[in-house]
């Protein structure tokens, strides 16, 4: 069992403290314990993201967010029993406790079954024109622009393979031959890459109708011009845990009003708010779709992902937001590309 005491936190810790422990440890969990190591609650990556969606400040006490009734296993539980429990409850970590509810270890599903390939397919949208990046994209499709000596799309593929994703589809249109010649069948990266060839531009969801067969597991769909440190595996776990039909990664976007905003009641001024900052959640261009969602994609016509989510919501399907707290950058404008190159140096 890996060293686990680094994930322990005292009750006075903050959400920010928990995030630091989660990110620093392979366990991807923080355990809140009393001075005698008795378990009070846990916080996982999913708990953090749900707190972000609720607008919880990172300085909030962890006991306002933590799960006070976590799933645990008694000390001495066999690996076979642990694995069965974790699969049944769709969890990747489980605290082990003794008869006094003191933490004596943390079981990880990867330790029980070994890190393994993920059977979920990934679709990378790489067919856009990159109009806003001209003249850079006049000769090169946007996903093939170089960052730190390699195409943006190659960095995405490498990150996916490192997380266990092997079956990758690339939706291509503009200068598709450059992408196909570079990546081939994907064997150089330990991946199996196929291509969805758009005869005409099909938008961010339309090319899903070109898939050669229907998937049996949730698929990941991602724009091919993104840089992010977010774990796609965590996004997939979040989707499954919430029984979502469609999950959209979102990020916070702050917009500052450059003037003092005047609040009134009738003709009377009630307050003046100087240059307030408005916060929005915006689409981050990464999605997970369960197989039923694909039945809402019309065949071979232009169709965008927001429209798909609108249709699913109208049909009463469960759609959820996954807030990104990690680095994320959309290479959409020349200044974004410059920033990405500076960051990569």
Q: Which residues are catalytic?
A: 275
Of 244, 248, 254, residue with least CA distance to 275: 254
- Strand, helix or coil at 184? coil
> Across-strand partners of 179?
none
CA torsion sign for 288, 293, 295, 299 is negative
Of 176, 35, 37, 184, residue with least CA distance to 104: 37
Q: Which two tokens stand for residue 200?
A: 């005409």
If residue 44 lies in a helix (H) or strand (E), which one and from where to where?
Answer: strand 39-44
Q: 62 and 11 in contact (C-beta within 8 Å)?
A: yes
Of 227, 110, 215, residue with least CA distance to 167: 215
Of 238, 231, 218, 4, residue with least CA distance to 111: 4
Q: 294 and 303 in contact (C-beta within 8 Å)?
A: no
* Contacts of the segment 100-105: beta carbons below 8 A, 24+ positions apart: 100/36, 100/38, 101/38, 101/39, 102/33, 102/36, 102/37, 102/38, 102/39, 103/4, 103/8, 103/31, 103/33, 103/37, 103/38, 103/39, 104/75, 105/1, 105/4, 105/75
As a whole number of angstroms, the distance between CA 182 and CA 172 comes to 13
Residues in the chain: 345
């Amino acid at each position: 069992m890996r060293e686990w005491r680094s994930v322990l936190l005292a009750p006075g810790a903050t959400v920010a403290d928990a995030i630091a422990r989660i990110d620093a440890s392979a366990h991807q969990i923080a355990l809140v314990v009393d001075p005698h190591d008795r378990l009070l609650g846990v916080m996982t990556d999913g708990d953090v993201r749900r707190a972000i969606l609720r607008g919880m400040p990172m300085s909030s006490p962890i006991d306002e967010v933590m799960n006070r009734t976590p799933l645990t296993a008694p000390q001495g539980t066999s690996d076979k029993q642990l694995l069965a429990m974790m699969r049944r409850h769709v969890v990747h970590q489980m605290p082990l406790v003794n008869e006094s509810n003191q933490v004596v270890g943390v079981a990880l599903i990867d330790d029980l079954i070994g890190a393994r390939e993920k059977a979920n397919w990934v679709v990378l949208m790489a067919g856009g024109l990159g109009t806003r990046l001209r003249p850079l994209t006049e000769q090169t499709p946007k996903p093939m622009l170089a960052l730190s000596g390699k195409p943006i799309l190659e960095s995405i593929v490498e990150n996916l393979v490192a997380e266990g994703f092997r079956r990758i589809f690339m939706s291509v249109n503009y200068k598709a031959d450059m992408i196909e010649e570079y990546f081939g069948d994907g064997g150089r990266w330990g991946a199996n890459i196929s291509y969805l060839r758009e005869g005409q531009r099909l938008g961010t969801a339309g090319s899903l109708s070109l898939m050669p067969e229907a998937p049996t597991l949730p698929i990941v769909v991602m724009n091919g011009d993104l840089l992010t440190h977010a774990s796609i595996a965590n996004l997939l776990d979040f989707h499954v845990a919430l029984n979502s039909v469609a999950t959209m990664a979102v990020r916070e976007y702050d917009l500052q009003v450059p003037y003092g905003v005047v609040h009134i009641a009738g003709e009377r001024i009630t307050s003046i708010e100087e240059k307030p900052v408005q916060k929005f959640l915006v689409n981050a261009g990464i999605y997970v779709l369960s197989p039923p969602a694909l039945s809402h994609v019309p065949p071979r016509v232009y169709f965008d992902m927001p429209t798909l989510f609108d249709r699913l919501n109208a049909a009463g399907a469960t759609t959820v937001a996954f807030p990104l707290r990690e680095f994320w950058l959309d290479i959409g404008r020349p200044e974004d590309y410059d920033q990405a190159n500076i960051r990569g140096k």
